[in-house]
Chains A and B, each alone.
Chain A
Amino acid sequence: MTTRSYLDARAPLHPVAREAVLAALDEGWADPTRLHSEGRRAATLLAAARATLAESLGCRPEEVHATPSHTASLHAAVAAVTTARRRVAARVVHSAVERGALIAAAREVGSAPVAVDRTGRVELETWRQALGEPAALAALQLANPEVGTLQPIAAAHEVAAAAGVPLLVDGGAGVGHVPVPEAWDLLAADPTSWGGPAGVGVLAVRSRVRVRPVGPEDPDPWAPGGVSVPLLVGAAAGLRAVLTGREAAERRRRALLERIRACVAGIPDVDVPGAARADESLPHVMTFSCLYVDGEALLGELDRRGIAVGSGSACTASSLEPSHVLVAMGVLTHGNVRLTLSLEASDEDVDRLCAALPDAVATVRRALGADAL
């Protein structure tokens, strides 16, 4: 019996990914651009990894690029498309709840955020209006990594395509956990969310999309200096493994989330944002905010009880600003807990969380003199 429950966003390394990384460290350590046997062996592994990723993502191997991280994928995708289309417009249309890295990249060009409803979902009519004016790029996440809400990707892509604007889909929290969407022009996927290794990102760009990667000239403009072959091999093997058992993993984790929802509902004054319907939300992500609770103190109380979670509260971050996602949705930002169930999450983890949570919340409220408010 394990003594800790890890319920934060970066998934533990998947055993298949780990084995693939270790094997590729032995076999594919050489520079894949070299023409000697060692180099060609690394190049073969690299090509196989791209082919595997292409199959998982539903595109061609030459459309798959490796980057140094998911953040780097988003930065590079926004820069490369907006540079190629700078004569069309200097404007990136994106939902208000996109990842911070994407919003930061959009602001370098011209950020045009689209408001979301209380569940965190963009309204198609507002999306359509925003794309009624010229735009260099549209960006929408497959699912929100904080609250789990799924976005209407197919419909949003249809609107963008009708406007002649390429759509970048941030698949970060969703790829590996829900079906991979088909409607995209660029798709960024994050290996750390499916148990791949940190240190590599995946960006697929349909060949029809005009891009001009920025930065000094390099044989690989998406990963200057070249990508880590072992890490990409691990990411590809991990994704194939999780997609094979995806449906069963979805059902199992939705049931665990239901149990957590029931125990959270028993705690007074807790705001549970996000989509109410299961098919509008990720199967493994949920968040809730506890009134009169200091988020950092609650994380500490849970950690002492053997539970690791994330939070979007301002007091838990280096910044004073609370999560822009919670703000955009109009939900309570303090006392926030963000749960992500990895493939390893078990009934035992949920038991531990549900046993600890009511007392942890009460302890923090008592410390603030807020237990009777």
Chain B
Amino acid sequence: MSQAATPPVPRVLDYRGLRCPMPIVRLAADTRGEPAGTTVTVLWTDPAARSDLAAWARMRGANVAEVVPAEPLDGVEAWATTLVLGPPR
């Protein structure tokens, strides 16, 4: 087994405070042209984002690596979803 390189720190995309469908629209715009396998972490507060990020990943050949609590925004519960992108379109 080859020695694993330290994985790069994923780019953080902060969409806290955005309402649906904007987190997904912004994610698609902000990761446009990125190569497959790129890892990004999306911060969100909109309750629809959890399922919509998963559905977007399925429709775009990406994978959801993890969903963990993030820093709240003005007292609103926030989450961080880390995604591994699929092939660019």
Contact = CB atoms under 8 A, between A and B. Distances in A.
B41 to A, nearest CB: 20
A333 B25 contact: no
Interface in A82-127: none
Contact of A373 (B29, B47, B55): B29
A67 interface: no
The size bracket of the interface on A is 20 to 34
Nearest to A273: B55
Contacts of B46: 314, 320
Interface in A319-352: 320-322, 326-327, 330-335
Contact of A333 (B28, B32, B52): B52
Given A332-B59, A373-B28, A292 B21 contact: yes
Contacts of A369: 25, 29
A333 B22 contact: no
A38 B56 CA distance: 63
A180 interface: no
A333 B50 CA distance: 10
Contacts of A69: none
Interface in B19-78: 19-22, 24-25, 28-29, 32, 46-48, 50-52, 54-56, 58-59
Given A322-B48, A326-B51, A373-B29, A368 B59 contact: no
Interface in A31-64: none
- Among B22, B51, B59, residue most surrounded by chain A Cβ atoms (within 10 Å): B51
30 contacts: A269-B59, A271-B55, A291-B24, A291-B56, A291-B59, A292-B28, A295-B21, A313-B48, A314-B20, A314-B47, A314-B48, A315-B20, A320-B19, A320-B48, A322-B47, A322-B51, A332-B51, A332-B55, A332-B56, A332-B59, A333-B20, A333-B55, A334-B20, A334-B24, A334-B52, A335-B21, A368-B22, A369-B25, A370-B29, A373-B29
Interface of B: 19-22, 24-25, 28-29, 32, 46-48, 50-52, 54-56, 58-59
Interface of A: 269, 271, 289, 291-295, 313-315, 320-322, 326-327, 330-335, 368-370, 373
